[in-house]
Amino acid sequence: MEIKVLEKRDTYLRLRILDDPHTLYNVLREKILERDGVLLCGYARDQTFEESIIFQIETAEGVNPIEVILDAARDLKAMSEEFRAAFENAYPE
| Model pTM score | 0.84
- Bridge-partner residues for 54, per DSSP? 16, 44
For domain 2-90, say whether CATH 3.30.1360.10 is its number: yes
Q: How confident is the model at residue 83 (pLDDT cuts 50, 70, 90)?
A: very high
Residue 93 has pLDDT above 70, yes or no: no
In the chain, the amino acid numbered 10 is D
Buried/exposed code over 29-62 (b: 16+ C-beta within 10 A; e: otherwise): bebbeebeebeebebeeeeeeeebbbbbbbbeee
- Please list the helix, strand and coil fractions of the chain in percent, rounded to the nearest 5, in that order: 40, 35, 25
Domain boundaries, the chain: 2-90
